[in-house]
Chains A and B, each alone.
Chain A
Amino acid sequence: MKETKTWVMLLPTILVISILFIIPLIYTVLLSLNFFSITSNQAISFNAYVDILTSSSFTDSLAFSLTIALISTVASILIAIVVSMTLRNTFIGRRLALFVYQFNIPVPHYVVGISILLLFTQTGLVSRWFYAFGLIASPSSFPVIVFDQNGIGVIIAFVLKFFPFIGIAILSLLLTSIKDYEEQAATLGANRIQRFIHVLFPMMMPSILFSSILVFAYAFGSYEVPFLLGSTYPKALAILAYQKFTDIDLNSRPEAMAIANIMTIIIVALVILAYIQLNTMNRMRARQNGKE
């Protein structure tokens, strides 16, 4: 009886997820396999995958997206750790600093992208200030940060959005029980660096891993920020997929779906790996909390 009630309660959620997520996912896979081809050839084939995996535009885009996501995530983690370690201390103006730290979490990525655009293009505010102060000969000699092939503008936008998100997870941990472990390590002779390396960082790992996997997945599949700030080549995978999907040549649609599916597989694989690791860490932590 109780189980039936539970399932009835869960049913709306299951239905919504099925309709909005699982069914489109299956449809995407089928499309990528040429199953609903509107051309004469109705046979299921892996041609779209073969074509995609052998095309340099895809491999370049894959490398670009992975690089952008990886650098953004790692940079965000590093900044989040440094800022959180600073913000856990008591100082005058800490409340204001905390507000500023968390301020851009609810700001949409699109808005952050526009801000970067306004600030860092060669005709942007920063380049004009540099020029006004005589630091550069002309606005055009300002380094190319936006629309560049290395995706620096994209990375800056992602880092601005991600580090407070990861940082909040770390800070909440630093302000609770982890402090006792740090004090214990200090009384055992560990200096500040040793305490961080041997105690704090390993204990922060579950929070860092959880939030990083979220931001990595977001950065890897992001469309709007690379669209606003990225170069024309290589494109981020999401942009490449969308372009193929909206191509006037309908034969490109299976390729768009194949790209989408490859992105999904990469992200799901990462999530599963992170989940296994997190599960192990959480089990350890739960047992520790249970004992306390």
Chain B
Amino acid sequence: MTFLTLRGLTKRYDDAETPCVKNLDLNIERGQIVVLLGPSGCGKTTTLKMIAGLTEPSSGDILVEGDSVVQIPTEKRPVSMIFQKSLLFPHMTVAENIGFGLRMRGMKQAIIKRKVNEMLDLVRLEGYGDRRALQLSGGQEQRVSLARGLIIEPKVLLLDEPFSALDAELRLEMRGLIMDLKKKIDVTILFVTHDQQEAVMLADKIALMIDGEIVQYDNAQTFFTRPLTLRVAEFFGWTNFVPASQKGKTVTCSLGEFVFDGLEEHNGPMCLTIRPEAAVLCPKGEGIRAVIRSSVYMGTRIDYRVDCMDAKLGISFDSDQVFEIGEEIFIKLQNNKVWAVRCDGKEPCDNRIVWGPPLNMQDTSIEARREQNEGEGIGQSIGALDRTDEHHGGDSREKDNP
């Protein structure tokens, strides 16, 4: 039996033309961390608020361990919610904030004190109990907020972008803390974020939500290898979209024919999606011919736009593989980084590169860097690379695509 179930959950605000959450179905197993991922305004927070009881659903049901909680008031639901802002009560100390939920339950002071101290240890804030809530840094505040939510031992912990206000370093630290806590505490977590990296790092499963609907619910790896729709692919960094058609199990486009394991048989238009890192270099004359049209230096890699057969692609190589504009290269596409998704009227497929340098940026990157490096006496690093090595730099062990 699933632990938390959302069944046809819908929310339409009085003044809105369309529902902001549409007929949502979601099953979460006990002890899982499920991340509700999606762009801003897609209905993630509304979903969380409905589970917490802060927003009333227009229709549908929410079940915790099989029991509907829709009619139960917020304060009696077996859930706890951590918000984007820490929302520590400013007139209370850290210890008073953490113990708030237990005080509201009429627990004895001695027990509260013991549990608060345990929580302070758990969130690595030993000795901070007597501080005012306002004497803490942003990261410390969120840790107190987390402890305050956990101390009441909720069955489900809801986290609404709790780290989005923190700087990058603190965000990483907090994600680590969540993963540590998860090992120590038996709690099911529903975590909302718009940060794909955060979702991948934390989630047992990701529910990708777009325009109020869950478009794919899978583990993180599947999103990177088998996206269900064009929009899912875009969200997870699939950057190239080439019109194709499918007959049986074979997908055909200007780049050739592709057969994918696990692709449902189908006859009709498709969209071939290619990750930027899918391309590997081949010896001259092998693979697909491509002509460099533009490039952007990205630090550890260089992003190129290439003309490849009749398609335009955005591909990415390590930054030690440098090509001139107009240079001809031969590439092959790694099968595990190419996939085909169905396209319909809502999501038509045209040849486009979602990511990639705009053409007018072309010469400013490599050449400018070459000039800069030569000026600094390090021109060899980019300017005099061994072309032969470069062209043989691709992994020839990969399965060839036509």
Contact = CB atoms under 8 A, between A and B. Distances in A.
B185 interface: no
A185 B52 CA distance: 12
A287 interface: yes
B104 A181 contact: no
Contact of B81 (A187, A199, A284, A288): A187
B75 A191 contact: yes
Interface string B93-110: 000000011011100000
A186 B85 contact: no
Interface in B252-309: none
B79 A199 contact: no
A188 B81 CA distance: 8
B90 A188 contact: no
A292 B89 CA distance: 13
A12 interface: no
Interface string A198-210: 1100110000000
B105 A181 contact: no
A202 B73 CA distance: 23
Given A284-B91, A287-B134, A187 B105 contact: no
A185 B134 contact: no
Q: What secondary structure prevails in chain A residues at the interface with B? A: helix
A200 B104 CA distance: 14
A42 interface: no
B235 interface: no
Contacts of A284: 90-91, 132, 134
Contacts of A181: 87, 89
Nearest to B100: A188
Contacts of A194: 104
A188 B91 contact: no
B50 to A, nearest CB: 13
Nearest to A190: B104
Question: Number of contact residues on A: which range applies?
Answer: 20 to 34
Given A189-B105, A189-B152, A190-B75, A199 B54 contact: no
Contacts of A94: none
Contact of B54 (A183, A190, A202, A292): A183
Nearest to A180: B87
Contact of A198 (B100, B134, B141): B100
A189 B87 CA distance: 15
A284 B89 CA distance: 11
Contacts of A199: 89
B355 interface: no
A188 B104 contact: yes
A187 B100 contact: no
A5 B321 CA distance: 63
B148 interface: yes
A186 B100 contact: no
A284 B134 CA distance: 7
A202 B77 CA distance: 25
A199 B80 CA distance: 17
A28 to B, nearest CB: 40
Nearest to B55: A183
B236 interface: no
Given A187-B80, A202-B91, A292 B104 contact: no
A226 B224 CA distance: 78
A191 B52 CA distance: 14
Contacts of B89: 181, 185, 198-199, 202-203
A2 interface: no
Given A180-B87, A190-B75, A191-B73, 12 more contacts: A184-B87, A185-B100, A188-B75, A188-B148, A188-B149, A189-B75, A189-B152, A190-B100, A190-B104, A198-B100, A203-B90, A288-B134
10 contacts: A183-B54, A183-B83, A184-B83, A186-B53, A188-B100, A191-B73, A198-B89, A198-B104, A202-B89, A288-B134
Q: Which 3 A-B pairs have the closest CB atoms?
A: A188-B101, A186-B74, A187-B81
